[in-house]
Every structure is written in C-alpha cells, then in structure tokens.
C-alpha cells in the first residue's frame, strides 16, 4: 500500500508489510476460533433441542395414558352406579 508523507508517495517498508501480514494472520486465526466456538455452541443447542423434543414426546405419551386411564375410570364408575341402582331396586322388592 502506498503512503503519502508530506505530499510525497512512500512505499511501506518490509517491516510494515510484515506487521500488516501478522495482523491479518492473527485476525484470520481469531475468526477461525470464533467459527469453531459458534459451531460448538450450535451443536450443543441442537442436542438440547433434541432432548427437549424427546421430553415433550414423553409428556404427550403420559397425557395420553392419563386420559385413557380417566376414561376407563369414568366407565367403571358409570357401571358401578348402574349396578348400585339395580341393587337398590332389587332390595326395594323385599318387604320387612
């Protein structure tokens, strides 16, 4: 890169160019490190999202089983009420 000092073009020295290349190399290394960290974080987020998804599936299954159990309990209660009413009617046929 050409520099201008007091209106006169001056070429950068080898030291200046070397410093610039070292700075560029360091910047590229920093970017590479950041990309690695981002990739690692993305993998961790994916693993957490997969775990959350599995937990939601498990909760959904448990809710389905609970619902089914409640339906069976309700049906059994209805049947018991019917049997109790039938028994009450039969007991009413007896005279004391």
Q: What is the dihedral of CA 42, 45, 46, 51, to 10 degrees?
A: 170
| Residue 5: predicted pLDDT | 58
Per the domain annotation, does 96 fall within a domain?
no
Per the domain annotation, does 5 fall within a domain?
no
Per the domain annotation, does 2 fall within a domain?
no
**Segments forming the whole domain that contains residue 19:** 11-91
- Under the banding of pLDDT at 50, 70 and 90, the label for residue 80 is very high
Per the domain annotation, does 4 fall within a domain?
no
Element (H, E) at 9: strand 8-10
Asked whether the predicted pLDDT for residue 35 surpasses 80, the reply is yes
pTM of the model: 0.59
Count of domains for the chain: 1
| Residue 45: predicted pLDDT | 98
């Amino acid at each position: 890169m050409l520099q201008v000092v007091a209106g006169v073009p001056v070429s950068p020295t080898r030291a200046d160019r070397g410093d610039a290349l070292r700075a560029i190399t360091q910047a590229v290394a920093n970017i590479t490190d950041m990309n690695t960290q981002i990739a690692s974080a993305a993998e961790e987020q994916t693993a957490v999202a997969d775990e959350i998804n599995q937990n939601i599936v498990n909760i959904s299954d448990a809710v389905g089983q609970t619902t089914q159990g409640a339906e069976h309990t309700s049906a059994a209660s209805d049947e018991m009420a019917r049997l109790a009413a039938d028994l009450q009617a039969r007991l009413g046929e007896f005279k004391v």
